[in-house]
Structure 1
């Protein structure tokens, strides 16, 4: 008989349309599924789901984790609509039974998982240990069965350690997902990769689709480690495409990564061009970002009347701490139409609006900003 592991069931939840709307949009490059840990504000043993294009994305909630997986409607059979009903899915590792309801493609309810004791015994005989309920549920989600091990052996993995087995299950490295990796490795000349490398790629969201998308942008021959680096730094094919549209058709992967790290975006460059800098280059945009020159900073200067401020001057002002508020505070003391060079000079010498006000309260009456600079340079501050 099968050993039954019941995950606590609670009353059916009221489904949040906000969640349902995000269920597909939040799918990462990792693949079909999403896994994370922590408390999620849902009682354990409950689920939320959204149905789209024949795929049911189900988010499972347990005591210490939340796990999202995709199933086809064919796998799950008839889904209960309008009123509460049951449906399920049986695999070699066990049976998952759902209770709940779907309305307008959104679903919610409770679930239980029943392990297949015979299959668990088979895994133990192969040397796998610590097969708790959570791991067995991951094995079920990944659809690891007896044939899975023959498949791995046929692809050059005759031995799978206990830790590797756990990683394969928890990262949803199913036969279908692995086939996609193997096909990519063969087609692109990556050769045979270790299980640990497969797990690392999966953990970091480096899917075959991700690598193929970079290849399609014209970048061939980069290593899997480079793919990991690019993914970790948020470089996507879409981002590279945006860089090319901004004027650098020959941007390298290293440049794209560097630009991404420095926060250079399409919006940033486009906004600067709109402010009157049509010849903006990606290198200059990166330099400006490094020095903290924002669109708001330049816009604030232009609003003060410095319409012809150059990007180099904006960068210099930012480096010296000259802001629109600083200039305005000097203007408010009666010193109008000061040049940006003079504003920078004042800042460099420590002549601020508060310093000028302090000197005036002491009865020191000076006519020009140069006089205040000379006074400040003497060290007079009291």
Structure 2
């Protein structure tokens, strides 16, 4: 058996790749949280579980019994044996084994040294947080403890403690930060982070473990943002503005993920992204076979003390599809040419489907009887009766053996009734699989066929999409169909400047509601920008535009907004400038107010800094009235940020501190705070 800790690292790494490829873009944040936590625990539990011998891919080592002859040796043979020299190769092999053993011991000592170091670091962080929580000023808000801190540290929470500097934020931003951190506390996110830190203690050497902690933390922020936007008192735009104010570049914050700028863009995009369709939840079920494969490949086989009888096994493996057994009760309502049938196998398992009346044999009216629904996968026998348009009774599904054989020839493995039940309910025909193969999709399994057939990804649709994207992947056809992406939409996107747009980009654009007109406006509004601008009409720069276009759409940055800045002389604004200015509500009117006050050609980054501190021309006039005529805007921003306000300066002058330089008052304020 491979070393336990390496096995755990392998599982964690595979689960992370699975999550990154299939799950991280889904908006099922609660489900993603449980997946991340479950996989983290499974990585350490799974290697300890033995698997049955018949399921294991590992061969049980066979012990060779050596028979020792008891025949006596004569003296001559004994003498020859004593005179045999020791083989040099045996000596060398012994030395190699000793060296390997020494190296292994060194690696073990190194590993445990790392564990001790990271464990001490973990304990120190916990002690420091607890010390800060219970040694400074605290406001008790129900079960929440608001710990007031100083300096430019980012707000965060630990346990039921919220660490925040109230002097740094406006009242609305302050309240939204508190609400955000209270959601973290109510949902016990600290437990998730503590578990992730404990994993890092034992997996400190594994880069995937560090990425796992980052993915877990990002999902917690997505989850909290989603909960925030469900509050009646929180507006999406206002909340996004608050996040940007907290993470403004003028405040170098400590390394906390809650409000760092690298994550902020992803959070804003995720907040404005389209909710994932429930049909995409099939991806999560692939985790189970992944874990089973790992167990069968690496886990120690266990000796079987007893074997299930094949008949008993087949009984226990009754066909179940999404909780729907192959027999049970039915309830039906006739609606025009269709009949809606609800299948009920026990108290908690219900499944409803609509069928055409033309598919069903004659219904028993006002008396007990039978009727059937036959499809390629099998036959459903219904017993019961209808009174008017409503009926009820019992059902039993009988699979079609020849259908399973035909599907097996197409490499679709349908060995049990549960698979056949799924194919029956969706009415997947053998010809449908043959059609997929005819269109170039030779390597296809049952789990791929199900969503394709359920969404009616037919031959005409595939042919149409392939005219636009000849090498379209089979898995991309599902989101394409569910989002209503057709050949016309793809061509419109390309005609707007995306000549080599990938399927992933098309899905992202469509889910955001971005069409060709929006992209055209995006490009035409920025075509006169300088070379350093992120927006470009060159196809080589298209890849750099994708995230910016999505961010523009989510923040409602349109042609009119960009043109409003051109009207006041800002023709070369970069995408990042526009995003920051929109987020902080820097408008053309705001710029005009400074221009009218005599401040011309203010750089975009300075405008963002001024707005982040709510500096207005009126405030600058107040400073000028105090005798500061040659003001530098950066000085004003620094003064406002440190609290060296006009009223503070007046109070200092009343005490005899009369300086001609604003910087002296900024320094004086800093000393007073300390």
Q: TM (normalized to structure 2)?
A: 0.34
Shift in Å, 1:356:
6.2
Kindly report which structure 2 residues correspond to 1:144-155, keeping only aligned pairs within 5 A, or say none: 144-155=428-439
Q: Measured at CA, do residues 209 and 302 of structure 1 come closer, stay the same or move farther in structure 2, by a change above 3 Å?
A: closer
Residue 118 of structure 1 is matched in structure 2 by 401
CA contact (8 A) 1:262 1:290 kept: yes
The structure with the largest alpha-carbon Rg is 2
CA contact (8 A) 1:59 1:67 kept: yes
Q: Measured at CA, do residues 287 and 333 of structure 1 come closer, stay the same or move farther in structure 2, by a change above 3 Å?
A: same
Structure 1 residues not aligned, in runs of 5+? 1-27, 78-86, 99-108
Query: Hey, what's the Cα distance between the residues in 2 that align with 1:142 and 1:178?
Result: 17
Residue 4 of structure 1 is matched in structure 2 by none
Q: Measured at CA, do residues 267 and 72 of structure 1 come closer, stay the same or move farther in structure 2, by a change above 3 Å?
A: farther
Write out per-residue CA displacement over residues 114-142 of structure 1, whole angstroms, 9 at most, x where no aligned residue: 46343664367546547666644542455
Residue 587 of structure 2 is matched in structure 1 by 298
Query: Hey, what's the Cα distance between the residues in 2 that align with 1:228 and 1:125?
Result: 32
Residue 167 of structure 1 is matched in structure 2 by 448
Q: Measured at CA, do residues 61 and 137 of structure 1 come closer, stay the same or move farther in structure 2, by a change above 3 Å?
A: same
Query: Hey, what's the Cα distance between the residues in 2 that align with 1:286 and 1:59?
Result: 53
Write out per-residue CA displacement over residues 136-166 of structure 1, whole angstroms, 9 at most, x where no aligned residue: 4542455322333443454455x545xx232
SS of the residue corresponding to residue 671 of structure 2 reads coil
Query: Hey, what's the Cα distance between the residues in 1 that align with 2:568 and 2:358?
Result: 55
Aligned counterpart in structure 1 of residue 462 of structure 2, from 152, 177, 181: 181
Kindly report which structure 2 residues correspond to 1:19-168, keeping only aligned pairs within 5 A, or say none: 34-36=279-281, 90-94=374-378, 114=397, 116-118=399-401, 121-122=404-405, 125-126=408-409, 128-129=412-413, 135-140=419-424, 142-156=426-440, 160=443, 164-168=445-449
CA contact (8 A) 1:181 1:207 kept: no
Q: Measured at CA, do residues 327 and 92 of structure 1 come closer, stay the same or move farther in structure 2, by a change above 3 Å?
A: same
Shift in Å, 1:71:
8.1
CA contact (8 A) 1:356 1:372 kept: no
Residue 376 of structure 1 is matched in structure 2 by 666
Query: Hey, what's the Cα distance between the residues in 1 that align with 2:397 and 2:584?
Result: 57
1:200 aligns with 2:470: no
Write out per-residue CA displacement over residues 31-76 of structure 1, whole angstroms, 9 at most, x where no aligned residue: 9x944369xxxx97799xxx9xx99999999999999999889879
Residue 230 of structure 1 is matched in structure 2 by 506
Q: TM (normalized to structure 1)?
A: 0.53
Residue 25 of structure 1 is matched in structure 2 by none
Query: Hey, what's the Cα distance between the residues in 2 that align with 1:73 and 1:285?
Result: 61
Kindly report which structure 2 residues correspond to 1:211-360, keeping only aligned pairs within 5 A, or say none: 211-216=487-492, 219=495, 222=499, 226-232=502-508, 234=510, 238-245=514-521, 248=524, 251=537, 253-254=542-543, 257-264=546-553, 267-270=556-559, 272=561, 277-278=566-567, 284=573, 286-294=575-583, 296-298=585-587, 301=590, 305-306=593-594, 313=602, 315-320=604-609, 322-323=611-612, 325-327=614-616, 330=619, 342-348=632-638, 352-353=642-643, 360=651
Query: Hey, what's the Cα distance between the residues in 1 that align with 2:342 and 2:645?
Result: 61
Shift in Å, 1:168:
1.7
Shift in Å, 1:246:
5.6
1:210 aligns with 2:486: yes
CA contact (8 A) 1:272 1:280 kept: no
Structure 2 residues not aligned, in runs of 5+? 1-273, 285-321, 325-329, 362-370, 383-391, 528-536
SS of the residue corresponding to residue 453 of structure 2 reads coil
Query: Hey, what's the Cα distance between the residues in 2 that align with 1:336 and 1:70?
Result: 78
Q: Measured at CA, do residues 174 and 350 of structure 1 come closer, stay the same or move farther in structure 2, by a change above 3 Å?
A: closer
SS of the residue corresponding to residue 190 of structure 1 reads coil
Shift in Å, 1:325:
3.1
SS of the residue corresponding to residue 281 of structure 2 reads strand
Q: Measured at CA, do residues 245 and 261 of structure 1 come closer, stay the same or move farther in structure 2, by a change above 3 Å?
A: closer
Query: Hey, what's the Cα distance between the residues in 1 that align with 2:352 and 2:498?
Result: 33
Shift in Å, 1:242:
1.9
Query: Hey, what's the Cα distance between the residues in 2 that align with 1:168 and 1:299?
Result: 54
Residue 168 of structure 2 is matched in structure 1 by none
Q: Measured at CA, do residues 59 and 254 of structure 1 come closer, stay the same or move farther in structure 2, by a change above 3 Å?
A: farther
Query: Hey, what's the Cα distance between the residues in 2 that align with 1:280 and 1:69?
Result: 61
Residue 6 of structure 1 is matched in structure 2 by none
Shift in Å, 1:300:
8.0
